[in-house]
Amino acid sequence: MTSGIIAIAAALAIGLSTICPAIAQGMTAKAAMESIARQPDAAKDIRSTLIISLALMEALTIYGLLIAFMLISAI
């Protein structure tokens, strides 16, 4: 029974940590492209900020994967 709950928790951890940052990355990229379209002169600054923010969002997915691995190793 306990191993089943841990497996469900690991599945939820990886699922939520993948879906939520993916939605946020899409919204961030959309906003960046809209702002570049409005102000092409600021494209370099917007692009660098976009890359940093996407990397931080991707770190959330990696943390979720790490938690899922830790939960699976507890089974």
24 and 59 Cβ atoms separated by less than 8 Å: no
Give CA 27 to chain center in angstroms: 12
The string of pLDDT tens digits covering residues 13-25 is 999 999 999 999 9
Pick the CATH number of 2-73 from 1.20.20.10, 3.30.420.480, 1.25.10.10, 3.20.20.70: 1.20.20.10
> What sign has the CA pseudo-torsion 58, 64, 66, 68?
negative
pTM assigned to the model: 0.78
**Alpha-carbon distance values, 32 to 2, 38, 42, 68 (Å):** 45, 10, 11, 31
Q: Rounded mean pLDDT of the chain?
A: 92
53 and 27 Cβ atoms separated by less than 8 Å: no
What residue segments make up the domains of the chain, in order of their start?
Answer: 2-73
pLDDT in tens, the chain (75 residues): 688 899 999 999 999 999 999 999 999 999 999 999 999 999 999 999 999 999 999 999 999 999 999 989 887
